[in-house]
Structure 1
C-alpha cells in the first residue's frame, strides 16, 4: 500500500499547473532580473530581489518534479529572451505597481492550483507557494504605503441603521435611477482598473520597443482597448462619486531599445489578457446591477477576440508551446496502421 501511494502519478490538472507555472516563472526571472539592473532604491531592490528568488526556487522544484515524472520540461524563457544592457524602460515606481498586480495574479493562481491538486506533495507545494505570495504581497504593500505610491480603494461610510433590500429597483441598471455601487461591485471595478492600467502601460512600452510591425500594431490595438475599458470603469465609479486608481503611463521611459524578446512580450500580454477574462467573469458573477453585468459581458467578448488574435500570432511564429493534454487516441491508432 505504501509503495502504491508513493508511486501514484501526477494527474492532468497537477501536471498542467506545474507546466504553466514553469512558463510564468521563467518569464518572471527574465523580467525581474532586468528590473534589478537599473534599480537604485534599496527598499524596492529588496522586494524585487525577493520576488526573483521565489521564481528561481519554483523553477528548481518544478524541474525536479517533472523529471521524476519523466515529463519533458517546457522551453519557457531563458536569459536569451532578455537584454540586460537595454536602458530602463520603466521607473522603479512602475515596477512596484507591476509587482503588486502580478502578485495578486499569483495568489489567485496558487489557490486554484491547490484546489485542483490531489497528491500530498503537490498540495503542500502549492500551499507553500500561496504563503510565499502572501508574504511578498505584505512586504510589497508596506513599501508602497511608505513611499506614498499605493492607490487605496474608496472608503464606505457606515449607515445609520441596518438596511434590508425591499425593492427590485436594487437591480436596476439600464432604466430608472441607478443606485450607488455596493462595496463588492466597487472593489471589483477598482481592482480590475488597476490591473488594466498596468496592462495598458506594458502594451504602450512594448509597442515602443518592438521592431515587428505586426506586434507594434497588436500592442497599440490592445492599449486602445484597455483605455476604453478604463474609461468605462471610471465612468461607473464617477457616477457614484468615487475615485479611480492612479495612471502610471508617465512612468514609462522614451527608450526604443527592447529589453525583451518579441516572444516574451507577446506571451506576457497574452497571459494577462487570459486572466483578465477570468477576473471579469468573477466580477460579473457577484455584481447585482444589470448594467454592470452587461458591461462585463461585452468587455469579455471584446478582449476574447483580441486574445485569440494574439494566440494566432504566437502560433504563426512557433512561439506557443503545447500544454499537457490527453492522448489523441485516433491519431495513435493511425500511426500503428
Structure 2
C-alpha cells in the first residue's frame, strides 16, 4: 500500500470548490483592506488574509503532486483596489462575517467527504480559522452597534408537550387562528432576514457598478427578490408582535466604479444563493407551523430559479470554470 493514497473524486471536488471560494475571498479582502478606515476592522481582515493565504498554496501543491491542473479561480485581474469605496464603513465586516458563516457550513461538510489525513487536516484547520474570525466579526459589530440581536422572550417555567395537532396550524386558512412562533422558528426567520439584509446591501452595490448590462439587470432583480423576502418575514414578526431586526450602516455609497470583475461578483452572488437555499431548507425542516414552511419553500424556488439564471449568464460569458469531471467511459470505448 502507498504511504499516501491518491485523491478520491470527493476530495478533488471539495478542494477544487475550496480553491475557488478562498481565491475569491482573498481578492475581496485585498480591496476591503485597502479601503478600510477603521483600524480594528482592518486588522481583523489582514489577520484573516494571512491565515487563509497559505491554504490556497497548500491546495495548489496537492494538485501539483497529484498531476491535476491548478484551477484559475480568482486572480489580481478580478480586483481593482484603486476604485472609490463602494460601501460605507461596517459593510466589510458584515460581509466577512457572512462569508465565514458560509465557510463554516462548507468546511464541516467537506470533512465528512474526506478520508486522507492531510485533506481532513486542511478542512479542520480552516474550520477553526473560520470560527475564530466569525466570532471576531460578531464582537466587532456588537461593539460598533451594528449587530441586530434576535428578540428576547420570557424564560420557560415548566416543561410542556404538544397535545393537539392544531399546533401545526398556520395561516393557510384565513378562518383559523394560528399560534405564535416558537423560539426555534424565530431563530430561523431572524437568520433569514439578517442574511438577506446583508445580501441586499451587497447586490445593490454590485448593480451600481457592474460593467455588463445583463449582469447589472440580473443584480437589480436579485435585490428585488431579497426585498420581497425581507418584507414577508418582517410581516410574520409584526403579526406576532415581535420587533423585526434592523441593521444600521454598511450601505452602498454613490460610487458606480467596479472594484471587482463581473465574473467575481457573479460568483459571489451564486455562493450566497447556494447558502440561502441551504438555510431555507433548514428553516423548513425545523418549522412546525405549516405557513412558515410554505413561505420558505417558495423562497427556495425563487432563489433556485434566480441562481439558475445566473449560471446561464456566467456560462455565456465564459466565467464559469468547469468542475473536475469523471471519465466519460462511452467516449473512451
TM-score, normalised to structure 1's length? 0.94
The yes-or-no answer on 1:70 pairing with 2:75 is: no
Report the counterpart of residue 180 of structure 2 in structure 1: 180
Structure 2's unaligned 5+ residue stretches are none
Whether 1:213 aligns to 2:210 is no
Unaligned runs of 5+ residues in structure 1 are: none
The answer on whether the counterparts of 2:107 and 2:126 sit within 8 Å (CA) in structure 1 is yes
Counterpart-to-counterpart distance in 1, 2:131 and 2:60: 23
Residue of structure 1 equivalent to 2:76: 79
Determine the structure 1 residue equivalent to 2:36: 39
How many Å separate the matches in 1 of 2:145 and 2:282?
30
**Structure 1 range deviating more: 136-145 or 27-36:** 136-145
Aligned-pair distance for 1:245?
2.5
Q: Distance in 2 between matches of 1:250 and 1:159?
A: 36
Give the deviation of 1:214 after TM superposition.
Answer: 0.5
Question: Following superposition of structure 1 onto structure 2, how do residues 1-337 of structure 1 map, counting pairs within 5 Å?
Answer: 1=1, 4=2, 6-173=3-170, 174-175=172-173, 176-247=176-247, 251-333=251-333
Distance 1:11 1:248, change over 3 A: farther
Q: CA deviation at 1:219?
A: 0.5
Kindly provide the CA deviation profile for residues 32-68 of structure 1, in whole angstroms up to 9, marking residues without a partner as x: 1000111121111111112222331221111111111
User: Which digits, 9 at most, give the CA deviation of each residue in 1:97-132, with x for residues without a partner?
Assistant: 111111111111111111111111111211111111
1:177/1:32 Cα in 2 relative to 1: closer, same or farther (>3 Å)? same
How far apart are residue 331 of structure 1 and its match?
2.1
CA distance in 2, matches of 1:195, 1:159: 28
Question: 1:211 & 1:34 partners in 2: Cα distance?
Answer: 18
Shift of 1:285: 1.0
TM-score of the pair, normalised by structure 2: 0.95
Superposed displacement of residue 92, structure 1: 2.3
Computed over aligned residues only, the root mean square deviation of the Cα atoms, in angstroms, reads: 1.4
Q: How many pairs align?
A: 330
* CA distance in 2: counterparts of 1:243 and 1:327, whole angstroms: 54
Cα offsets for 1:162-205 (capped at 9, x unmatched): 22111111100123211111121111111121111111111111
Structure 1: distance between partners of 2:155 and 2:179: 16
Cα distance between partner residues in 2 of 1:62 and 1:243 = 45
Q: Write the distance in 2 (CA, Å) between the matches of 1:309 and 1:324.
A: 22
Q: Please state how far the C-alpha of 1:249 moved relative to its aligned partner.
A: 7.2
SS of equivalent residue, structure 1 residue 77: coil
Q: Structure 1 residues 89 and 248 mapped into 2: Cα distance closer, same or farther (>3 Å)?
A: farther
Structure 1 stretch 51-60 or stretch 8-17: which is displaced more? Answer: 51-60
